[in-house]
Amino acid sequence: MIDIAGWAPEPQETTEVIDAAPSVALAGLLDAAPPGDELPPLWQWLHFLERPAQRELGPDGHPREGRFLPPIPERRRMFAGGRFRVREPLRVADAVTRRTELVSTAVKQGRSGEMLFVTVRHTFSRDGTEVAVEEQDLVYRSGGEASRPAEVSFEAPEVKAPWTLPVTADPVMLFRFSALTYNAHRIHYDEAYATEVEGHGGLVVHGPLLAILCLEPPRRAGLKVNEVSFRARRPVYARQPFVAAGSPDGTLSIEAPGVTAMTATFA
C-alpha cells in the first residue's frame, strides 16, 4: 500500500542563464532550423537539469532520492502530462529563476495496482517578474513483477489532418534526447530492462519528446503558442512510425499504430 504520510517537500529555487547550445542541439535532433533567441514552449526542459552523482542512481537509472520524488519502495515513474503557460518567452542569455513546488498528490487504483499521481509546478521568473508557469503530472507505482510485453505494431498510421509530421524515433534519437535532458532512465536505452523488468514492448519514446513533437506543427507553421495542455495516453516504442498531427483550431495529437498516444490543445 502506498503511504506518503508526512511527505511535504519545501519549494526549491534554481537560477540559470539560458544558453543557446541546447536548443541548437534539439533542433538538429528534430531536423529543424534552430529557433533563435526565444525558447519555444516546452524547450525549457533542456535547462535546469539535475545532474546526480552515479552513486545516487537506482537500478532503473533514476535518482533513488530527491526532494520531489515520493518515498515509496521500488518506485517506477511515468510521465502523464502537463500544462505550460507563457506570458513572455524565455530568451537566450536571460538569467531565469525556476521555483519548484509540490501542488497535489492522489493515490488511485489502476489495472496494475495502486498508483500515486503527483503534480509539480515550476514558476519561471526574470528580474523578479513571472514569465511562465509549467505543471507536470507524474505517476508513480511500486515495483513488482513485469507484465507481459505488449504486442507492438510497426504499421504506419494513416492520418488525415491539416498538419502532419511523420516521425520514427530510432534508438539513436532516443539516446540523443536522453543526453540532452540528462535522463538516465533505462527504459529509453536498455531494451532488455524495458521489456523484461518494466514490461514494455520495446524501448520507450520519452513523453517529453512526444510533447515537444506535438508542438512542432504549429511552430513550423509560424504560429505563436501561449498555452499548451497535453496528456500521455499510450507509450510509443522505438522504430514505430507515428505522426504528430494537428490543426490551426488548437488540437494536436501523436497518432501511433492503432492508438492515439498523446493528445494536446494549444492557444
Tell me whether residue 2 is in a domain.
Answer: no
Whole-angstrom Cα distance, residue 88 to residue 223?
Answer: 15
Tell me whether residue 113 is in a domain.
Answer: yes
Whole-angstrom Cα distance, residue 76 to residue 125?
Answer: 31
Q: What is the pLDDT of residue 146?
A: 63
Tell me whether residue 5 is in a domain.
Answer: no
Tell me whether residue 3 is in a domain.
Answer: no
Tell me whether residue 119 is in a domain.
Answer: yes
Count the domains in the chain. Answer: 1
Tell me whether residue 4 is in a domain.
Answer: no
pLDDT by residue, tens only, the chain of 267 residues: 788 888 889 999 999 999 999 999 999 999 999 999 999 999 999 999 999 999 999 999 999 988 988 988 888 888 999 999 999 999 999 999 999 999 999 988 776 678 899 999 999 999 999 999 999 999 988 766 667 777 899 999 999 999 999 999 999 999 999 999 999 999 999 999 999 999 999 999 999 999 999 999 999 999 999 999 999 999 999 999 999 999 999 999 999 999 999 999 999
pTM of the model: 0.95
CATH code, domain with 228 = 3.10.129.10
Tell me whether residue 6 is in a domain.
Answer: no
Q: What is the pLDDT of residue 47?
A: 98
Q: Give, rounded to a whole angstrom, the gap between the first and last alpha carbons of the chain.
A: 40
Q: Which domain holds residue 20?
A: 12-266
Q: What is the pLDDT of residue 5?
A: 82
Tell me whether residue 140 is in a domain.
Answer: yes
